[in-house]
């Protein structure tokens, strides 16, 4: 029996070896414009600086909507908490992520002697101030954004929860709307969709004070990624499952290249997406770390 097993083993070794040697030789490129937006870079740099010196830091909500990056920082000592846990803390440092927070969070911090490390994106802070000023003028504030999104909750808090939030034009009851409104947008929404909503409201006879508050570093990536996706046989779009921006940009790539595939980690890659020698483009959301896209590139290089 041992002799038979040795014989079978020797027969199979050349076949296994030849399969391992045969590589798909994919031509893989990473989009240089993809990766964290400056707001996320700022928040992560602040977190890493404190973690390096103190070894622990609380963060209110995921610091970025990417599980792989959150896991990396958790290994360094970052502790993700929610608002319920925040209310229980005393005398510690808490990071406010790029999405921003409503005024109630800052009041709670004062009451509980919490030191807030405010990494709110400057674009979001500017938007919060504009909405608060508009609300104080007793104007009707409408916010185009995703229900329950952290940034939107922060914006809604500037109006004592009285602004109207909608994520599609179809949600609006035109017959019950005031005849004059101030229109704002979550910073990561599509400019095309925002102005389409503005146009429809105007056509319906509603006077709209339109405030384009969309971050151009984010919105410009739509056109950039469409152009990028057209250059390749296959596109691998890397993003966290929770990222709203990721969903929008993935759709943009998919419309430009139907062979676009969404992955959140290396485990999502599938060999049947590719054929030998094909050109593969890797890109991602504003919440996608470059190191994760590089991991995907390196993995495909082994195939």
- What is the DSSP annotation of 235-283? EEEE--TT-HHHHHHHHHHHHH-TTEEEESSGGG--GGG--TT-EEEEE
In the chain, where are the structural domains located? 27-36+217-301, 38-120, 123-214
pLDDT at residue 22 in the model:
65
Predicted pLDDT at 35: 93
Q: Which residues are catalytic?
A: 151
- Provide the pLDDT for residue 20: 40
Q: What is the pLDDT at residue 36?
A: 94
pLDDT for position 95: 98
| Equal fold, 27-36+217-301 vs 123-214 | yes
| CATH, domain 38-120, list 3.40.50.300, 3.30.428.10, 3.40.1390.30, 3.40.50.11270 | 3.40.50.11270
For the purposes of burial, counting CB atoms within 10 Å of the CB of 262, is it exposed (0-12), middle (13-18) or buried (19 or more)?
middle
For residue 219, the model assigns a pLDDT of: 82
Distance in angstroms (rounded) separating the CA atoms of residues 301 and 26 = 7
In CATH terms, the fold of domain 27-36+217-301 is Cobalt-precorrin-4 Transmethylase; domain 1 (3.40.1010)
Q: What is the mean pLDDT of each run of 10 residues along the chain (303 residues)?
A: 41 38 86 93 96 97 95 98 97 96 97 97 96 98 95 97 97 96 94 95 97 88 95 98 89 97 97 97 96 97 93
* H helix intervals, 87-148: 103-111, 122-136
User: Which CATH code fits 123-214?
Assistant: 3.40.1010.20
User: pTM score, two decimals?
Assistant: 0.84
Predicted pLDDT at 217: 82
- Collapsed DSSP state (helix, strand, coil) of residue 179: coil
Report d(CA 152, CA 32) in Å as an integer.
Answer: 29
Specify whether the backbone of 237 is left (phi greater than 0), alpha (psi in -120 to 50) or beta.
beta
* Residue 21: predicted pLDDT: 44
Is the CA virtual torsion 146, 149, 37, 252 positive or negative?
Answer: negative
């Amino acid at each position: 029996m041992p002799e038979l097993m040795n014989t079978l083993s020797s027969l199979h070794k050349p076949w296994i070896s030849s399969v391992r040697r045969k590589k798909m030789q994919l031509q893989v490129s990473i989009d240089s414009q993809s990766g964290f937006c400056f707001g996320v870079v700022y928040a992560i740099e602040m977190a890493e600086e404190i973690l390096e010196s103190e070894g622990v830091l609380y963060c209110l909500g995921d610091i970025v909507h990417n599980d792989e990056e959150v896991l990396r920082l958790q290994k360094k000592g970052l502790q993700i908490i929610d608002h319920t846990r925040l209310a229980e803390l005393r005398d510690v440092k808490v990071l406010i992520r790029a999405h921003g927070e409503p005024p109630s969070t800052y009041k709670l911090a004062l009451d509980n002697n919490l030191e807030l490390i405010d990494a709110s994106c400057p674009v979001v802070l500017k938007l919060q101030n504009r909405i608060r000023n508009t609300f104080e003028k007793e104007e009707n504030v409408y916010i185009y954004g995703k229900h329950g999104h952290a940034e939107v909750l922060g914006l809604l808090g500037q109006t004592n929860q009285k602004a109207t939030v909608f994520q599609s034009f179809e949600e609006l009851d035109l017959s019950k709307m005031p005849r004059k409104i101030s229109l704002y947008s979550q910073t990561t929404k599509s400019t095309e969709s925002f102005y389409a909503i503005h146009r429809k409201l105007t056509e319906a006879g509603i006077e709209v004070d339109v405030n384009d508050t969309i971050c151009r570093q984010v919105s410009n990536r739509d056109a950039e990624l469409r152009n990028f996706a057209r250059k390749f046989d296959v596109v691998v779009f890397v993003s966290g499952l929770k990222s709203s921006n990721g969903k929008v940009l993935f759709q943009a790539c998919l419309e430009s290249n139907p062979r676009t595939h969404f992955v959140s980690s290396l485990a999502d890659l599938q060999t049947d997406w590719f054929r030998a020698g094909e050109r593969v483009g890797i890109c991602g959301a504003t919440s996608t770390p470059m190191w994760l896209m590089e991991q995907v590139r390196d993995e495909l290089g082994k195939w």
